[in-house]
Amino acid sequence: MSYWVLKGLAFDVFHAHPWSGIGVGRFHTATSQAFDAGRLNGPYRAIDPHCTLLGAMAEAGLWGGLSVVALFVAAVGLARSAARRSPDRWLVGAVTAGLVGVAVNSINADVLNFRFVWIALAVLRALA
């Protein structure tokens, strides 16, 4: 299960560089080094961490991780505000359910690269 190894690698990178990470977009440097050390096999030599929170923490440190958490907390706030104010509650519920599903999926995917996440947040903001 190389995805599990990727998550472990992301945690190890964060542990080694907790404040600033290794730099945004530089996770492939860590996977290349892990490949050279025999920790990852060929197809995973240059791959993303496949975990939004751990990837942000590995690349941007504690501040990157806190930013991801803050984004999802803000989405909850937007959903609550939109649910109170919008006459289209069915739309708020559908978009919120989609974002909850994406948040759960963020354990196994880099969901901040998904355009529909940003569109869903924009819809919630417009409805709020």
Q: Is the pTM of this model over 0.85?
A: yes
Contact 124, 78 (CB under 8 A): yes
Residues 32-70: tens digit of each pLDDT: 999 999 999 888 889 999 999 999 999 999 999 999 999
Task: Report pLDDT for 121.
Answer: 96
| b (16+ CB within 10 A) / e for 98-114 | ebeebbeebeebbbeee
The token pair at 29 is 């440097």
Task: Report pLDDT for 1.
Answer: 61
